Structure 1
Amino acid sequence: MFKTKNFMKIALVSIMAASFLAGCGGDKDSKGSSKDVFSQIKEDKKIVFGVKHDTRLFGLKNPSTGDVEGFDIDLSKALTEEMFGDDVKPEYIEVTSKTRVGLLNNGKVDAVVATMTINEERKKEVDFTDVYFDAGQSLLVKKGSKVKSIEDLKKGTKVLAVKGSTSAINIREKAPETTVLEFENYAEAFTALKSGKGDALTTDDAILYGMAEEDPSFELVGGTFTEEPYGIAVKKGNKELVDELNKALKSLKDSGKYDEIKDKWIKN
């Protein structure tokens, strides 16, 4: 009996200790699990943005310096300064169209600034800020191509797109006879287009302008056939972070800083 009582006491103490340690570790979990993301950002004195590394003009890694450069990068830096002054520093993690929602929801990034179109389906998974850039889907082709618009995408043509993007969904709806080939990122898709694996590459015009700038033997054709409003995505339920980002975005637009950043990168 004595041994049984001692065993029960030891077991009870162990359970209580485990519960205490679990409680102490609550704030150590991924951001948003036991503390809202905005509070955690202020506590950590850093905000982690998910950005593209393969999208010229918006987020492209410079092979010479290793830095990621573009409109999304400069805008996120300006937003951080507007919200926190010098108290919080921005950090960056690479995302793709396929990975950005998962990295956001598992707490690896605090906000995604990565040419992400706001739509009703995505609103079920994440919360968005106000629109920070208006784009529209278009087509990129080799100069002299027979493809002049979306109407030319018939049976036997091939269109290249990126996995996880709205572009792949849209092109299947608007050109159902064409074959759609999907790639992991824009760099792979553009390489495939240059090597003749497709007749056109489709995504937002702002992204395609960057590709045409990189290789002037390609051009945009047919204008835009969708509206693609970009928003900054955050994990669902983090209203304070969304509100603060919206206030900062409005302030940058009112002051002219937003236009200064946009004109630096987007010249078309």
Structure 2
Amino acid sequence: MKLTHLMTAVLLTAGLTATAGAQTASTLKKVADSNKITVSYREASVPFSYLIGSKTSVGFSAELTEAIIDDVRKKLKKPNLEVSYMPVTSQNRIPLLVNGTYDLECGSTTNNSARGKDVAFAINHFYTGTRLLVKKSSGIKNYADLAKKTVASTTGTTNAQVIRKYSADKKLDMQLILGKDHDDSLLLVESDRAVAFAMDDILLFGLMANSKNPASLEVVGDSLQVEPYACMLRKDDPEFKKLVDGTITRLMKSGEFAKMYAKWFTSPIPPKGVNLNLPMSEELKANLKALSDKPAM
């Protein structure tokens, strides 16, 4: 019995060591050894990463992902590197990255200090804040109008935490319900199960533009906070972070980043050819020079 317990303890320790090793192993070595990189995409984060009737995502972040993949190919001297694309949600994107299921996420993920305990972030590539998507007929113009009403947000997002805290701080007694993804949360408003959808304003504009009846919806309310978006990668992997930061730096310094921004934020975008008309924010303009990966608090 003692020997059995000893063997079990040894095997358990070996297993935990192997898991820890897998989590801290170099992403570039992992990719080189397998000749494959696995990247994630979002299905409804317009205009960053979204589907338009196929299994291939499009969007601003999707193009960032492809630029990073090209630099991985060059770094590893593997022009025929296999690429696997994996859909993730707000809820599962961090655990699946941490456990090694995929290697890189460029979507619509906020870079904040809490998440920084589990993952690393590249240079910030967008800045946004929580606002509200409502029906024009609702009469809701700001957060005080939401007292004792049902409000939607999306599972696993910082916005759900922000709106819950705001409601408690202001004693508004909102009833918060969570959609499994952004399309699901939008449906809660369209079907009158919620009077508002609290989310990053840029995602709300994108969802509204591609909704069934855009003219019936509007984005209202003050921005509750400013949060940066950044590509997400595993912690304690300085070699891969240097490569990802290098790609974003090159795009920002060359002017290619500004062209990509214009394509997705101030030009007609698929599938309906709607123009979001969202000029680059002052925070983002400043970061084209600062190249900061500073998180939101």
TM over 0.5: yes
Counterpart residue number, 2:141: 148
Which aligned segments of 4 or more residues in structure 1 are displaced greater than 6 angstroms?
Answer: none
Q: SS of the counterpart of 1:98? A: coil
**Superposition deviation, residue 83 in structure 1:** 4.4
Q: SS of the counterpart of 2:62? A: helix
Counterpart residue number, 1:248: 247
After TM superposition, the structure 1 = structure 2 runs for residues 191-230 of structure 1, keeping only pairs within 5 Å, are 191-215=187-211, 216=214, 217-230=216-229
Counterpart residue number, 1:131: 124
Give the TM-score, by structure 1 length.
0.83
Partner amino acid for 2:239?
Answer: E
Percent of residue pairs bearing the same amino acid type: 26
Point out the more displaced range, 255-264 or 180-189.
255-264
- Confirm or deny: 8 A CA contact 1:31 1:107 kept in the other structure: no
Give the TM-score, by structure 2 length.
0.75
- Confirm or deny: 8 A CA contact 1:127 1:234 kept in the other structure: yes
Alignment counterpart, residue 49 of structure 1, candidates 26, 39, 52: 39
**Superposition deviation, residue 33 in structure 1:** 4.6
Q: SS of the counterpart of 1:112? A: coil
- Confirm or deny: 8 A CA contact 2:24 2:236 kept in the other structure: no
The C-alpha deviation readout for 1:122-179, integer Å capped at 9, x for no partner, is 1111111121211111110111322101232212x11101111000000011123211
Structure 1 unaligned runs (5+)? 1-18
**Superposition deviation, residue 89 in structure 1:** 5.2
Q: 1 CA distance for matches of 2:158 and 2:259?
A: 28
The C-alpha deviation readout for 1:163-218, integer Å capped at 9, x for no partner, is 11000000011123211101111111111110001110011111101111013121
**Superposition deviation, residue 97 in structure 1:** 0.6
Structure 2 unaligned runs (5+)? 1-10, 267-277, 279-297
**1:108 maps onto 2:101 in alignment:** yes
Point out the more displaced range, 97-106 or 208-217.
208-217
Alignment counterpart, residue 169 of structure 1, candidates 145, 158, 161: 161
**Superposition deviation, residue 45 in structure 1:** 3.6
Q: 1 CA distance for matches of 2:263 and 2:35?
A: 28
Q: 2 CA distance for matches of 1:120 and 1:34?
A: 20
**Superposition deviation, residue 66 in structure 1:** 3.0
The number of residues matched between the two structures is 243
- Confirm or deny: 8 A CA contact 1:82 1:248 kept in the other structure: yes
**1:189 maps onto 2:185 in alignment:** yes
Backbone CA RMSD of aligned residues: 2.4
Q: 1 CA distance for matches of 2:259 and 2:199?
A: 25
Partner amino acid for 1:137?
Answer: T
- Confirm or deny: 8 A CA contact 1:77 1:90 kept in the other structure: no
